[in-house]
Amino acid sequence: MNLIIDVGNSSIKAAVFQDAKLLKTYIGSFENFSKKFQKIRKDYPEIAFSILSSVVKDTSEIEKVLNKETELFVLDENIKLPFKNRYTSPQTLGKDRLALVGAGVKDYKNTNLLIIDAGTCITFDFKNDRNDYLGGAISPGLQMRLKALHYFTAKLPLIELEEDIALIGDSTRNSILSGVLNGVAAELDGIIDRYKADYKYLTIILTGGDTQILSKRVKNGIFANPNFLLEGLNYILEFNKTQ
């Protein structure tokens, strides 16, 4: 049984897998990880392996617990991957992007695949039908754009994100929402069209925290899976257990 730990900027996501089957997910804060682990262990005493992915530099407490209680794998540039990583600076590649490509190989092997992760940043990651990861792009996410309009101007307000907004904004508030939401949707459609022009039979995945709001606005065919990253981490863990 596997424990998957994904450490983000403000919270931790954890998941328990039995082979490839997702049993349960958890979301929490950084504090008292040892107690949080023991709670998970109480629910699933069979946990024997773990993998840690983190965008935070100091994960020493988490690693100490996982090393003591499980056989731990850390997702970094040295871990074995079920695909060829052709990124020219693998040491700077976000661990979440590696995990997403791992999930892409698991579910869409030998397929041209574009993964769009709509979170704090919007990332685009592409693997070809030979399972080579070539790279992609990084763009500001929805919340980042709303905050930038506020903090880098003198008078524009900080607006809360809403789903239902017209193309033509009839107030400053609605103009900001229209610009951000429709602008991102047009950006995604435009980038998808460029990939489709270069790669036939392209499959597109949209995942991340803003999946729901964007999937309604992007015209291209999208398959959304909120657990895609966790599944990718588990797949990379399973791959390393056999090496």
| Structure tokens that stand for 35 in this block | 């107690």
Please give the positions annotated as active site: 96
Task: Tell me which of 21-35, 110-124, 164-178 is least confident.
Answer: 21-35
Residue pLDDT, tens place only, 67-113: 999 999 999 988 999 999 999 999 999 999 999 999 999 999 999 99
Among residues 51, 74, 97, which one ends one of the domains? 74
Among residues 26, 54, 74, which one ends one of the domains? 74
Question: 114 and 19 in one domain?
Answer: no
Query: How many separate domains does the chain show?
Result: 2
Task: Give the integer Cα–Cα distance in Å for 239 and 82.
Answer: 7
Report the share of the chain in percent with pLDDT over 70.
Answer: 98
Q: Is 69 helix (H, G, I), strand (E, B) or coil?
A: helix
What pLDDT score was predicted for residue 132? 97
Question: 112 and 23 in one domain?
Answer: no
| Structure tokens that stand for 132 in this block | 């080579």
Question: 216 and 191 in one domain?
Answer: yes
What pLDDT score was predicted for residue 89? 94
Task: Give the integer Cα–Cα distance in Å for 168 and 145.
Answer: 18
What pLDDT score was predicted for residue 177? 96
Question: 14 and 59 in one domain?
Answer: yes
Question: 200 and 95 in one domain?
Answer: yes
What pLDDT score was predicted for residue 164? 83
The arithmetic mean of pLDDT across residues 159-177, rounded, is 93
**Neighbour tally for 204: CB within 10 Å:** 19
Q: Is 156 helix (H, G, I), strand (E, B) or coil?
A: coil
| Structure tokens that stand for 78 in this block | 């040295």
- pLDDT classification of 33: cutoffs 50, 70, 90: confident
Question: 27 and 132 in one domain?
Answer: no
Question: 181 and 229 in one domain?
Answer: yes
Which positions ≥6 away from 118 have C-beta within 8 Å?
Answer: 141, 142, 206, 207, 208, 209, 210, 211, 214
Q: At what angle do helices 33-43 and 60-69 cross, to 10 degrees?
A: 30
Q: At what angle do helices 228-241 and 95-107 cross, to 10 degrees?
A: 80
* Structural domain range at position 197: 80-243
Question: 87 and 141 in one domain?
Answer: yes
CATH number at residue 137: 3.30.420.40
Residue pLDDT, tens place only, 188-234: 999 999 999 999 899 999 988 888 888 877 777 677 677 899 999 99
Residue pLDDT, tens place only, 128-159: 999 999 999 999 999 999 999 999 999 999 99
Tell me the pTM.
Answer: 0.90
Tokens 């990718």 -> residue:
232
